């Protein structure tokens, strides 16, 4: 928001396949399989990229979404319940939120 003196940030978002381990409070070490960099992006772009990535992930894989938009940080955990995924944790650092999501196996219908 340039009118408040904040530098305009980049708008490019990227979905990347990664293999790295993070340690999350309450979960211990977890392997992150997909990272989405949404710094500078506004709704609904981060949500759409998250949905696209989850569609291509296997059950049990973990996604890390990096955002700097407060409304996105609030919307993703609520959205996860409808996408067959579990919000693990949101970690705030100086300039962004790191949102960790695990894709769950879809339950078979009887």
Which residues are marked as active site? 43
> What order do you get walking across the sheet with 62-67 strand by strand?
14-24, 28-38, 62-67, 97-103, 85-92
Query: Both tokens of residue 26?
Result: 């309450």
In degrees, to the nearest 5, what angle opens at C-alpha 89 toward C-alphas 85 and 94?
135
Distance CA 99, CA 36 (A): 10
Query: Both tokens of residue 80?
Result: 């996860």
């Amino acid at each position: 928001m340039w009118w408040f003196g904040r530098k305009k940030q980049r708008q490019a978002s990227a979905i990347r396949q990664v293999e790295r381990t993070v340690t999350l409070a309450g979960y211990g070490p977890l392997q992150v399989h997909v990272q989405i960099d949404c710094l500078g992006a506004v709704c609904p772009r981060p949500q759409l990229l998250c949905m696209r990535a989850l569609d291509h992930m296997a059950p049990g894989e973990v996604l890390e979404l990096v955002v700097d938009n407060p409304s996105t940080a609030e919307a993703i955990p609520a959205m996860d319940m409808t996408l067959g995924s579990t919000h693990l944790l949101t970690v705030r650092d100086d300039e962004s939120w790191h949102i960790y999501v695990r894709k769950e196996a879809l339950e078979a219908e009887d």
